[in-house]
Chains A and B, each alone.
Chain A
């Protein structure tokens, strides 16, 4: 969408633009209007109230027509404000470009100076300049412009530094172009948009500042008046004749507000993060908007997902991240979920406890049953009381997932205290026990460490300890070892395996690594494009993969349990989940794809081993014909 269209969509910014255009237009035509002379005094008609005969807004303490003075004053204020903005921008940009372009000592020296200037509260600098030059509108203008030069210099320097190292600048230098010409022809054109934007956001500020200096009596001198000095002169009659103050004051307010609205609109339109709506705050639990019947609990699984559908609603588009996922895990069992990034495995994990960021996430259908209770339909308070207490998470990168500003001990103790009313001392001793459980050496001294002071492996042990804090029944581990190196990875995996056996935990283990699955999981489910394409006992799936996708995944793994195993060698990319092909989602990348594959939805079929394919590699319990039937 174009910048202007975006701006226009922002109604407030548009209002600001319209108001500003009106004010500027009014200021431009002021000399042409049939107004009284703004400086002609008429002491017989002092302080006429607004709507008086011949004086629409009344008169001031010298009987001068307020409307006329207001318009002339606005004209002057705008002119001075804009002039200050232009001067500050031009000089600031010049300083910034020189500093950024030449770099090194020049840059250092200039930026030191700029920092010094910024060390002043801005008005002190302005006052000092006015004190030296003497009060007067021109001097106030110089002061305001000078005070704002550092701001422009710093901004423009940043941009210039980026440009000065681009190839086209190097090329121009090699071609023997002089610095001056390079700056004019290569640097300046790239910097000008930034200058204009910086100006548009500061011009309101400059108008306000010059008005302020005039208000203090240091700017425009009588009889000439800008809005600030009108307000300053009216101050002595504030109580007896407030309208003389209100008129110029309101005008300043309107102008500054219009410019601020416009500036906000410009900023929003240029900020790409706001454009995509990514700056929305995730809510406490994923939004639920279930359509269709809610599946009933069945089977003896501790945690069971039934036809779970999670979507991302971004603007008008709907990304179907999960297209009906059904899974179950029994006490003491470890279920692996494997897939490429974007296959929906993490979304599956996060959907269980309503942790998918929302907006944009929405759970659109299906159910999550924990001991027969539907978590998708649960209240937030119920969900919260289960989070961490019955079902706990271990996340991928513990440096990002642990709070950087609290000690490890505090974060662990909190995990306990949010669910159980224990004393500080009890929480601490329990915390210590947890750290020992996850085999952290010198647990005592680690309690007061911050996450950034620990190694990656230690941090992840803390993450695991946090998940264990309340003796949960289920642990959902979302790629917990991906960020770690291989030896640490092996340690963490064996720790998880021991804990599972000791405590009878059910683990759902999300990974993209078949080696990890082989080491830890009893069963494995393979995900592709938001659906499960194959599921079965780990051994069986690894040895005789039924789905062409699984086979290819396994073929990509060089040697189980060794080296960095990444799933990248399959030609083609997984389909975008907002544009799934009809029929089998893997068809575009499948070498066995046939007409039938692209026609109808392919169902997941089978018993202990399930596969979603019309022509499976090995037909575990069904032959292709029944599979084809199942598809219809």
Chain B
């Protein structure tokens, strides 16, 4: 197992490099002089010259990329001009909040989505199946940012169950209960779409598995239907569900950008949008590379989980 994890980590290196190349290439699209663009309103001649020297912006592209990459490897993601602090510090501060939000939503969408899919398949064409199918359709069609706004109207303004925004109250203690109250609505709003997608996939994966010969064997053994569904069929269906969960993690992370805007959640997504509006290029660049790298690493976790589940995968 250890060697498998190592192997996957090594194979992630070219992907990580690819990510930096792509981000670098996109940033090369910036029209005009890069130093001026990065500095924006701070573009005094001295600053431009200093930045050109620091980042080697006047050098050829390959050299520029090498400098940038080498700096990042050493933990230097550059400096945010709008916030006047190192990019990495800011990203790390914000990433925790995103992780709490996206992580909760991811767990929600996995558990609820799979359960709904299983029930739906087990009761194919029954009332529960129809209900779930309709809910799924609604779930995958509603824009999460609109759903979030409607949730605020209903649960925060009208019913006053949950606070409308933020991660922590401005005054008062920061303990788990307070966090959960703030987290509930954004996490739910963020999870809805992914839950729908997972439920759909889990349903069809279950239907596929339930037709397999080994399910008939389980029945021939006298395994009760409950065991057939949850022990035999679900276990096998998970093999095709887990990779999709990995993909959904990316969608949850993406959706978090909208949800963080709607609920004023202090995460990386909101930071990125603010940075774009303020033209803080280095902050955008660093944030994108960092989050994408985390996502690549997360997918290794998914692969490892898959190999633990399926003994047929060579580790």
Spell out A's residues near B (CB within 8 Å).
112-113, 115-117, 119-125, 127-135, 204, 208, 211-212, 215-218, 231, 235, 238-239, 242, 245-246, 249, 252-253, 256-257, 260-261, 264, 278-282, 284-285, 350, 353, 355, 357, 380, 384-389, 392-393, 395, 397, 400-406, 414-415, 418-419, 450, 452-453, 466, 469
Given A256-B143, A281-B121, A402-B214: A216 and B18 interface contact (C-beta under 8 Å): no
The digit string for B195-230, where 1 denotes a CB below 8 A from any CB of A, is 000000000101110111111111111111101100
Report Cα–Cα, A130/B164, bound state, in Å. Answer: 29
CB neighbours of A245 from chain B (8 A)? 146, 149
Q: B220 to A392, Cβ gap below 8 A?
A: yes
Q: A231 to B22, Cβ gap below 8 A?
A: no
Q: A284 to B225, Cβ gap below 8 A?
A: yes
Q: A388 to B221, Cβ gap below 8 A?
A: yes
Q: A279 to B208, Cβ gap below 8 A?
A: yes
CB neighbours of A350 from chain B (8 A)? 216
Report Cα–Cα, A483/B30, bound state, in Å. Answer: 64
Q: A216 to B258, Cβ gap below 8 A?
A: yes
CB neighbours of B137 from chain A (8 A)? 257, 260-261, 264
B285 within 8 A of A: yes
CB neighbours of B311 from chain A (8 A)? 404-405, 450, 452-453
Report Cα–Cα, A503/B141, bound state, in Å. Answer: 61
CB neighbours of A134 from chain B (8 A)? 279
Q: B153 to A281, Cβ gap below 8 A?
A: no
CB neighbours of A386 from chain B (8 A)? 222
Q: A212 to B250, Cβ gap below 8 A?
A: no
Given A128-B288, A242-B153: A405 and B273 interface contact (C-beta under 8 Å): no
Q: A387 to B19, Cβ gap below 8 A?
A: no
Given A133-B29, A216-B258: A418 and B143 interface contact (C-beta under 8 Å): no
Report Cα–Cα, A385/B219, bound state, in Å. Answer: 11
Shortest 5 CB-CB contacts between residues of A and residues of B: A116-B18, A123-B254, A249-B146, A257-B141, A387-B222
Please name 13 further chain A to chain B contacts, defined as beta carbons within 8 Å, in addition to the given A217-B273, A217-B277, sorted by A numbering.
A113-B18, A116-B15, A116-B18, A119-B299, A120-B295, A121-B251, A124-B254, A127-B284, A131-B27, A238-B152, A389-B222, A405-B239, A406-B235
Report Cα–Cα, A547/B18, bound state, in Å. Answer: 72
- Of the candidates A264, A278, A403, the one whose C-beta lies within 8 Å of that of B218 is A403
Q: B217 to A123, Cβ gap below 8 A?
A: no
- Of the candidates B19, B149, B257, the one whose C-beta lies within 8 Å of that of A127 is B257
Q: A387 to B140, Cβ gap below 8 A?
A: no
For the complex formed, measure the closest distance between the CB of A297 and the CB atoms of chain B, giving whole angstroms: 23
Q: B277 to A120, Cβ gap below 8 A?
A: no
Report Cα–Cα, A215/B29, bound state, in Å. Answer: 24
CB neighbours of A400 from chain B (8 A)? 212-214
Q: B29 to A281, Cβ gap below 8 A?
A: no
- A-B pairs with beta carbons under 8 Å apart, 9 shown: A113-B18, A116-B21, A116-B22, A135-B277, A252-B143, A257-B142, A284-B219, A355-B220, A403-B232
For the complex formed, measure the closest distance between the CB of B185 and the CB atoms of chain A, giving whole angstroms: 13
CB neighbours of B91 from chain A (8 A)? none
Which among B121, B138, B150, B254 has the highest number of chain A CB atoms within 10 Å? B254
B312 within 8 A of A: yes
CB neighbours of A261 from chain B (8 A)? 137
CB neighbours of B153 from chain A (8 A)? 238-239, 242
B13 within 8 A of A: no
- Of the candidates B30, B213, B251, B258, the one whose C-beta lies within 8 Å of that of A401 is B213
Report Cα–Cα, A277/B213, bound state, in Å. Answer: 18
Q: B235 to A124, Cβ gap below 8 A?
A: no
B241 within 8 A of A: no
For the complex formed, measure the closest distance between the CB of A416 and the CB atoms of chain B, giving whole angstroms: 9
CB neighbours of A211 from chain B (8 A)? 143
B122 within 8 A of A: yes
CB neighbours of B138 from chain A (8 A)? 257
Report Cα–Cα, A402/B232, bound state, in Å. Answer: 11
Report Cα–Cα, A253/B141, bound state, in Å. Answer: 6
Residue of B nearest to A248 (CB): B146
Report Cα–Cα, A400/B211, bound state, in Å. Answer: 11
Q: B254 to A121, Cβ gap below 8 A?
A: yes
Report Cα–Cα, A397/B216, bound state, in Å. Answer: 12
For the complex formed, measure the closest distance between the CB of B104 and the CB atoms of chain A, giving whole angstroms: 17
For the complex formed, measure the closest distance between the CB of B6 and the CB atoms of chain A, giving whole angstroms: 20
Q: A119 to B276, Cβ gap below 8 A?
A: no
Task: List B242-279 residues whose CB lies under 8 Å from chain A.
Answer: 249-251, 253-255, 257-258, 261-262, 269, 272-273, 275-277, 279
B236 within 8 A of A: yes
- Of the candidates B19, B206, B207, B223, the one whose C-beta lies within 8 Å of that of A116 is B19
Report Cα–Cα, A208/B253, bound state, in Å. Answer: 16
Residue of A nearest to B261 (CB): A216
Q: A284 to B228, Cβ gap below 8 A?
A: yes
For the complex formed, measure the closest distance between the CB of B11 and the CB atoms of chain A, giving whole angstroms: 11
Which among B137, B220, B225 has the highest number of chain A CB atoms within 10 Å? B220
Report Cα–Cα, A389/B253, bound state, in Å. Answer: 51
Report Cα–Cα, A119/B303, bound state, in Å. Answer: 14
Given A135-B276, A252-B146, A388-B220: A117 and B22 interface contact (C-beta under 8 Å): yes
